[in-house]
Amino acid sequence: MMRRKITTSLVLAFFVFVQAGAHAQKPNSYYTYWPKYYEFRQDIQMVEIVFGVADVQEAFRYSRMNSAMPVPDPNPHVYIFRDRQGKILKVYNLCGAPVDSYKILPPTEVKTKDLNKHQVTRYPIVENCGMYGRVSMRIFDIYKHANANLELARWGVVDQLGTMLVFPQYEKLSVVTDQNFMMAMSKGKWGILDENGKRVQPFVFDELECWSYNGGMFLGKRKNKYSYYNSTGRQINTREYDFGEIFWSRRALVAINGKYGFIDSTGAEIVPLIYKNAKSFYYNVAIVGDGKKYGMINNQGQVIQPLEYDRITDDYDEKMMVVVGYFGFKDGKQYHFNREGKQTGVKNP
């Protein structure tokens, strides 16, 4: 299974995000929304409507009680584009709700300090996302995406002015790299698009993920083989792997025929595929093994602790939630190493 899918959202993380938005509305509903006002571009302003719950503790209390109305996953943000007089020019992602469902301030009443700067130049839009029966929702009916149906929805992209660049045609779509390249799904397969929607990698991947390292790096899986792509969708290494992970400490763990090694962001196999066991790098140190004994290497592949330990475990600080060192065990003794892999102590366990 691939880890850390970028398209997966957690309710808690979503709540933290929307809590930062200004002008939270306070309807008589369990769910709520936040308008975020952006700086004008060419006399056009984007207002982004994001959704959350009125009280996150109550949300999880309801979930723990196995409520008939569990907290839903976050739904697509609504994008409203208007001129300086407040006239609405374009609206996307309404999912069946009328635009006047959302109370937003006139442009003249939005304080300059509350205006957000655009962090990206592309925004995903969705069509065919009608809703289930709103009238039966009662107090839960914010009819503002709480029950949007995305099963048959199709995704596209607009720019900061609301101009449609990619017509909604994909089953899923996310803008994921610094260059606004996208990962999209068509007929159940993933592919990579450039900022204008041109296909740069075909729709052949069973799984695809992207993370922010080096401007955005893709890891694709097809036919149980893994391959890597940079922020513009170019494959960095023509070799496909039996196993692949995302980059940690500038290295990605890969394997072929049960032998593990590491590549860098150019695709170079900076640590040869010679180890029977390996864990991802953490602060430039990785635990490796030959199937019987374990040691540690640095991110250049140099052995900093020989493969002579029966096992090596992380020294994890629960309070700081970080690895602060390592424990190695051999000959009935426990050795301690700092985060750089240097021995700092030894004792009988």
The pLDDT averaged over each successive group of 10 residues in the chain (349 residues) is 38 34 45 88 95 57 45 72 97 86 92 94 90 41 55 93 97 94 97 97 97 94 97 94 94 97 96 96 94 95 96 90 92 94 84
Tokens at 19, concatenated: 């809590």
Q: How far apart are CA 240 and CA 224, in angstroms?
A: 10
**282's tokens:** 């953490």
The span from the CA of 291 to the CA of 238, in Å, is 28
Structural domain including 337 reads 251-349
Residue 270 in domain: yes
By residue count, the chain amounts to 349
pLDDT of residue 318: 86
* The residue to which tokens 């040691």 are assigned: 295
Q: Is residue 179 part of a domain?
A: no
Quote the CA–CA distance of 279 and 265 in Å, as a whole number. 18
Q: Is residue 316 part of a domain?
A: yes
The two structure tokens encoding residue 261: 């090694």
- Whole-model pTM? 0.79
- The H or E element that residue 307 is part of is strand 303-309
pLDDT at 31: 64
* Domain contains 48: no
Does the residue 333 lie in any domain?
yes
Strand order in the sheet with 277-278: 277-278, 285-289, 294-298, 303-309
In a domain, 130, yes or no: no
Going by the DSSP 8-state scheme, the letter that residue 11 receives in this structure is: H
State the total domains in the chain.
1
Domain-located, residue 340 = yes
> Does the residue 342 lie in any domain?
yes
Nearest of 77, 33, 37, 74 to residue 54 by alpha carbon: 33
- pLDDT reported for residue 8: 33
SS3 assignment, position 45: strand
- State the DSSP string of 53-71: ES-HHHHHHHHHTT-SSPP
Q: Which spans in 227-272 are helix H?
A: none
